[in-house]
Amino acid sequence: MATPEAVEIPVNYTQPWQGFWINLEGARYYMVFYWNSRSEKWYASIGKTPTEPIKSFVPILSGWILWRQLRDDSLPPGDLVVVDSSTKNIDPGRWEFGAGRRVSLIYYAAVVS
């Protein structure tokens, strides 16, 4: 059985709002990440294009698999997992979420047999 490929999503923690294209398992998606200072949380959205969202405004919660409860063939087939490198599963603050930070978003490709 093959081990799923893991890819860190390149979120830039210095940008409180960012949108970018990313290829996941041969499909192209537009992802948006933003910091909401009122709720003091990071949020994520994913879409086919910047104007065609599949799922929007999902909070970044340590230890969670984003969109796990949503069954939609438009979403990537693997899992987007919010990982806290401290292993304490504490939600990220303003400067703690992104590539190489305490909390990052890792995509685990679906296992194909």
Q: Which residues contact 61 (CB under 8 A, 6 or more apart)?
A: 82, 91
Q: What is the pTM of this model?
A: 0.90
Domain segments of the chain: what residues?
A: 6-108
- Tens place of pLDDT per residue across the chain (113 aa): 455 589 999 999 999 999 999 999 999 999 999 999 999 999 999 999 999 999 999 999 999 999 877 778 899 999 999 999 999 999 999 999 999 999 999 999 986 64
Report helix, strand or coil for 75: coil
Buried b (16+ CB within 10 A) or exposed e, 65-83: ebbeeeeeeebbebbbbbb
